[in-house]
């Protein structure tokens, strides 16, 4: 299956989570299921934008008091009067300007300074009026959105929740501490996955990574018992005697949706759906191939589960050219320069040295010779803009 088709299929087959109401403290990373509409005007009243004095008319002014933060009714100024103000406090009726502390000279209760009409006052309704739509449905909630929701007085939001993702790392040869040695391979996929899963927008608090040996029964049991919207399985994806993923999926009655992708690295990657709707993605055991498979199928599926469209990838020039594969899409670690994409090398399927020093992957379409342009696949799936 062509790389673009596999990516689009992973997005198409995944289902957005059921809409829920969430408190602001648990909505970060969810997606707005309804537009964010302000029930109130912000600010609700004219407020001082600076510390200093509210004044009415031309100076000099007579200082009659001090408005404190939290004062509900700051009263009214008569012409020639002023009152001390703090930033954010409601201004008295009749205020024509705020004179900043550093622009003011006060002798006894007499205030002098150059006040400009209307200066340093945040007007009622300046940010929004009651009923204004601030954001459409489909926006990913980030800290600024949470702050905005709080600003307009909301306690809960209607959201598509973040999907839950679990990872099963398979391989009898794997060790999780210390170096590789003859017969032993240090697990390099387990440490990558939590960060990738979180950056792709899945729920970080429910992400789990479990290590399994190469056992058919063990894998069947783990796939049956793992409660997550998406289960990632690394290793076991090819056709060797210890590669149990496809037989295990078969035993569980899963439907294969993607069974191999025409890309280098990462061709044994797979996507299947279990009868209860959970998705399973097979990540090839070679670490860079696993990373490519996550960025291809994993990110596309998680993106749809969040209720977001599959982003278009931006085009980039490759001034030095990149050799094409005749029938497979190549994923090449590159650095971004003013001239375009430059390969960083060390892009073999079993190596992470290339992607670790790269800014992105160049997606090089299959072809007969050399590509002078490619598309950019971010190594950080949470980077914004993602492309397009």
Catalog residues that contact ligand LQZAQKY5 under the rule CB under 6 A.
169, 171, 173-174, 185, 187-190, 234-240, 243, 267-268, 284-287, 289, 349
Radius of gyration of the chain (CA): 29
CB 230 within 8 A of CB 202: yes
Could you report how far apart the first and last alpha carbons of the chain are, in Å?
23
- Minimum distance from residue 12 beta carbon to ligand MOO (Å): 23
Alpha carbon 90 to its chain centroid, in Å, reads: 37
Subset of 345-364 contacting ligand MOO (CB under 6 A): 349
Q: Classify residue 34 by its DSSP letter.
A: S
User: Out of ligand MOO, ligand LQZAQKY5, none, which partner does residue 264 contact, by CB within 5 to 8 A per kind?
Assistant: ligand MOO
Residue 175 in tokens: 């060790």
- Minimum distance from residue 268 beta carbon to ligand MOO (Å): 5
C-alpha 209/C-alpha 32 separation (Å) is 28
Nearer to ligand LQZAQKY5, 243 or 359 (CB): 243
284 is a contact residue toward ligand MOO (CB under 6 A): yes
Subset of 237-266 contacting ligand MOO (CB under 6 A): 264-266
Instruction: Report the b/e string of 160-185 with b at 16+ CB within 10 A.
Output: bbbbbbbbbbbbeebeeeeeeeeeeb
CB 175 within 8 A of CB 131: no
* Phi, psi of 196, deg, nearest 5: -65, -45
267 is a contact residue toward ligand MOO (CB under 6 A): yes
Nearer to ligand MOO, 201 or 282 (CB): 282
User: Out of ligand MOO, ligand LQZAQKY5, none, which partner does residue 239 contact, by CB within 5 to 8 A per kind?
Assistant: ligand LQZAQKY5
User: Out of ligand LQZAQKY5, ligand MOO, none, which partner does residue 311 contact, by CB within 5 to 8 A per kind?
Assistant: none
Nearer to ligand MOO, 267 or 306 (CB): 267
C-alpha 89/C-alpha 91 separation (Å) is 6
- Minimum distance from residue 24 beta carbon to ligand LQZAQKY5 (Å): 37
Residue 84 in tokens: 């001390």
User: Out of ligand LQZAQKY5, ligand MOO, none, which partner does residue 347 contact, by CB within 5 to 8 A per kind?
Assistant: none
Q: Given the DSSP bridges, would you call strands 329-337 and 263-264 parallel, antiparallel or unpaired? A: parallel
- Say how many residues touch ligand MOO, by CB under 6 A: 9
| Residues near ligand MOO, by CB under 6 A | 264-268, 284, 286, 289, 349
């Amino acid at each position: 299956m062509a790389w673009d088709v596999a990516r689009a299929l992973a997005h198409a087959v995944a289902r957005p989570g059921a809409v829920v109401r969430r408190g602001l403290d648990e909505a970060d990373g969810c997606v707005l299921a309804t537009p964010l509409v302000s029930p109130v005007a912000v600010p609700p009243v004219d407020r001082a934008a600076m510390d200093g004095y509210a004044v009415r008319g031309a100076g000099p002014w007579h200082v009659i008091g001090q408005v404190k933060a939290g004062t509900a009714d700051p009263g009214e100024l008569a012409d020639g009067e002023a009152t001390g103000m703090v930033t954010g406090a409601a201004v008295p009726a009749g205020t024509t300007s705020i004179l900043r502390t550093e622009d003011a000279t006060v002798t006894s209760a007499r205030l002098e300074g150059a006040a400009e009409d209307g200066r340093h006052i945040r007007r009622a309704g300046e940010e929004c009026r009651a009923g204004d739509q601030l954001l459409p449905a489909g926006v990913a909630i980030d800290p600024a959105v949470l702050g905005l929701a709080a600003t307009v007085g909301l306690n809960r939001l209607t959201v598509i929740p973040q999907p839950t993702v679990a990872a099963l790392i398979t391989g009898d040869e794997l060790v999780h501490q210390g170096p590789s040695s003859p017969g032993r391979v240090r697990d390099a996929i387990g440490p990558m996955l939590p960060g990738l899963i979180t950056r792709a927008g899945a729920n970080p608090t429910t992400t789990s990574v479990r290590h399994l040996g190469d056992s058919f029964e063990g894998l069947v049991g783990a796939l049956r018992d793992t409660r997550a919207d998406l289960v990632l399985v690394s290793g076991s994806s090819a056709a060797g005697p210890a590669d149990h993923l496809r037989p295990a999926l078969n035993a569980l009655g899963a439907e294969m949706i993607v069974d191999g992708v025409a890309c280098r690295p990462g061709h044994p990657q797979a996507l299947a759906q279990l009868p209860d709707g959970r998705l399973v993605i097979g990540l090839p055991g070679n670490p860079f191939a696993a990373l490519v498979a996550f960025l291809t199928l994993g990110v596309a599926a998680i993106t749809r589960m969040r209720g977001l469209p599959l982003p278009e990838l931006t085009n980039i020039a490759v001034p030095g050219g990149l050799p094409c594969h005749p029938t497979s899409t190549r994923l090449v670690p590159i650095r971004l320069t003013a001239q375009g994409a430059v390969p960083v090398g060390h892009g073999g399927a079993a190596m992470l040295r290339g992607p670790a020093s790269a800014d992105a992957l160049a997606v090089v379409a299959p072809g007969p010779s050399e590509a002078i342009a490619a598309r950019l696949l971010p190594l950080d799936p949470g980077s914004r803009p993602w492309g397009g």
